């Protein structure tokens, strides 16, 4: 079964089953804050298609990490594609915006013409395969490796991320922001 | 400046810092805890405290003014956050600037506000993450102390931010605090993340 990947803030998706004790959140509901991870633009929501063997998951993580403005962890949810397709109905293939050209062309999707009810149903009814985090250190390794192999186009990365990865030459100003490593 | 002025300036500076630090920690109700546990990270900060009783009015006023400026900068950040949300401001840049300008006082001020619940969880979590990202070497130890202390705060969102900060600092000395936090953590996925960070700490 394939999945849809969406970048999130993991703590907003914790439930009572995870050990979170919010007296006001029923056991079968999520915290309201998780809706902020499903904010639509022009009534559309961006997803990345992940195949059932998860073979392209690393590429999708790379596309998302590479599109960030700084080096940071990646929290994500993998929805069951079948459920999302049933809820969203108008899922279209569209080109993603990231330094990973192949991922942009092959795996990016937009759920379009969404209603507020459909967005809510994603949090309530869509099956979730997993909610995961890739730690910052692992993201750094993935990005460095991908840039070296030419999978990611460094020139398409944000200057903040390039600076954190020390991809700019010292004559270009080097690391402008602090970084503990 | 004469040599006497310089010496006096140095003396005042070395004296003001412990006073300020003590105020911050006592504000947060943390002095008793730290002293009773003889926290190795913080006890050096408290070494000069007996001298505080000799602080002149002028020195106290100076400490107060410096503390006030740090609070004003943090207030500005909090106001901005409420006004435009976390995507409207560069929290990382703001925190880095405050740390570089206000040094240890900024870290103690953040700690104080977190303990008293004066920063909304999401912003507090982001601040802690960026405290870990900071490149300021002068405050490295006290930043690590803050992140480790924050691992025992009641909010899991705050604890998660502290964990991200600890992961970014990547200091093997945080392993002790992390192990203790893992023992107490009741949110299963957060506990798993802590275990993962611990496994790779200082590699």
Greater pLDDT, B88 or A103 = A103
What pLDDT digit, counting tens, does each position of B59-112 carry? 556 666 666 788 889 999 988 888 887 777 899 999 999 999 988 889 999 999
Domain ranges for chain A, please list them: 3-160
- Contact of A15 with chain B, judged by CB distance below 8 Å, is answered with no
The answer to whether B101 faces chain A, any CB pair under 8 Å, is: no
Q: Does A18 touch chain B (CB under 8 A)?
A: yes
DSSP result, chain B: --HHHHHHHHHHHHHHHHHHHHHHHHHTT-HHHHHHHT-TTTGGGGTTGGGGGG--HHHHHHHHHHHHHHHHHHHHHHHHHHHH-TTTS-HHHHHHHHHHHHTHHHHHHHHHHHHTT-S-HHHHHHHHHHHHH---GGGHHHHHHHHHHHTTSS-HHHHHHHHHHHHHHT-GGGHHHHHHHHHH--SHHHHHHHHHHHHHTT-
Q: pLDDT tens digits, residue range A104-145?
A: 999 999 999 999 999 999 999 999 999 999 999 999 999 999
Confidence of residue B18 (pLDDT cuts 50, 70, 90): low
Question: What are the chain B neighbours of A161 within 8 Å (beta carbons)?
Answer: none
How high is the pLDDT of residue B29? 61
Q: What is the ipTM of this complex?
A: 0.91
| B160 contacts chain A (CB < 8 A) | yes
In chain B, what residues touch A181 (CB-CB under 8 Å)? 168, 170
Residue ranges per domain, chain B? 3-200
Q: CA–CA separation, A163 vs A140, rounded Å?
A: 12
Does the beta carbon of A73 lie under 8 angstroms from any beta carbon of chain B? Answer: yes
Interface touch A14/B164, C-beta < 8 Å: no
Using a cut of 0.90, tell me whether the model's pTM lies above it. no
Comparing alpha-carbon positions, the chain A residue that sits nearest to B137 is A180
Give which of A9, A11, A142 to mutate to test B binding, by max B Cβ within 10 Å: A11
What is the reported pLDDT for A170?
58
Give contacts of A142 with chain B, Cβ < 8 Å: none
């Amino acid at each position: 079964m394939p999945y849809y990947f969406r970048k999130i803030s993991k703590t907003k998706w914790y439930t009572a089953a995870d050990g979170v004790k919010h007296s006001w959140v029923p056991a079968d509901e999520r915290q309201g804050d998780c809706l902020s991870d499903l904010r639509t633009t022009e009534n559309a929501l961006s997803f990345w298609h992940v195949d059932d063997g998860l073979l392209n998951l690393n590429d999708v993580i790379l596309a998302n990490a590479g599109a960030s403005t700084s080096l940071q962890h990646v929290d994500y949810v993998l929805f069951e594609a079948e459920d999302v397709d049933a809820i969203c109905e108008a899922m279209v293939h569209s080109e993603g915006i990231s330094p990973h050209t192949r991922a942009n062309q092959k795996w990016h999707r937009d759920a379009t013409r969404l209603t507020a009810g459909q967005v809510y149903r994603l949090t309530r009814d869509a099956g979730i395969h997993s909610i995961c985090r890739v730690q910052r250190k692992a993201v750094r390794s993935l990005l460095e490796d991908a840039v070296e192999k030419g999978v990611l186009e460094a020139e398409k990365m944000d200057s903040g991320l390039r600076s954190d990865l020390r991809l700019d030459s010292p004559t270009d100003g080097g690391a402008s922001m602090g970084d503990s490593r | 400046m004469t040599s006497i002025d310089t010496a006096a300036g140095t003396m005042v500076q070395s004296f003001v810092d412990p006073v300020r630090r003590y105020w911050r920690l006592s504000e947060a109700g943390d002095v008793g805890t730290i002293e009773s546990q003889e926290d190795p990270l913080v006890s050096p900060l408290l070494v000069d405290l007996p001298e505080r009783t000799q602080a002149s009015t002028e020195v106290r006023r100076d400490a107060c003014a410096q503390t006030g400026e740090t609070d004003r900068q943090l207030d500005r950040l909090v106001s901005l956050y409420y006004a435009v949300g976390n995507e409207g401001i560069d929290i990382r840049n703001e925190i880095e600037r405050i740390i570089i300008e206000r040094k240890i006082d900024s870290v103690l001020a953040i700690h104080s506000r977190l303990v008293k619940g004066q920063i909304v969880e999401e912003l507090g979590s982001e601040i802690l993450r960026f405290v870990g990202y900071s490149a300021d070497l002068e405050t490295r130890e006290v930043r690590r102390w803050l992140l480790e202390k924050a691992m025992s705060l009641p909010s899991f969102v705050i604890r998660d931010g502290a964990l991200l900060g600890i992961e970014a600092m990547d200091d093997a000395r945080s392993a002790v605090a992390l192990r203790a936090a893992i023992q107490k953590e009741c949110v299963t996925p957060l506990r798993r993340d802590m275990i993962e960070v611990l496994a790779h700490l200082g590699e």
